Amino acid sequence: MKDKQGKSRFGFSHALNGLKSVITTELNFRIHLIASLCVIAAGIVFRLEVMQWAVVVLVIGFVLVTEVINTSIEKMMDYLKPDIHPRAKAIKDMAAGAVLISAVIAVVVGLLIFIPEILSYIQTVFVNFAAIYPRS
């Protein structure tokens, strides 16, 4: 659907341009993306259940969204106050704090989901090892 000026009403191209900008310019966002891919790979290896996947996807989204919002706030503050200003710094620090909170929550959730999976895998390895190489 387009408006009278021929522009998309939904703005997908703008959203995609914004994501492209964040990916190409923000190292922290790329780090979060790589970490997300590693978590997804681990989820595949450990064959997570549907509810576990739902939680993993939600916390990954939570971190990525807060990183995009943080980047937006930082760029806006740099535009409005190019010089160093204590209030601008406080605003940017608060936005970065939101990313930190979301990342810590994601790590805690990841530990809650993956530690039991890892322990179960280790137990299976030891049981299989003991069955193959019994004590004399």
pLDDT at 51: 97
Q: In 3D, which of 119, 31, 18, 32 has the Cα closest to residue 75?
A: 18
Low-confidence ranges of the chain (pLDDT < 50): none
Of 26, 49, 67, 74, catalytic: 67
Strand partners of residue 2: 8
Active site residue 117: no
48-83 b/e (C-beta count within 10 Å ≥ 16 → b):
beeebeebbeebbebbbebbbebbebbeebeeeeee
Dihedrals phi, psi of 48, to nearest 5 degrees: -60, 150
Query: What is the pTM for the complete model shown?
Result: 0.84
> Which tens digit of pLDDT belongs to each residue from 67-82?
999 999 999 999 998 8
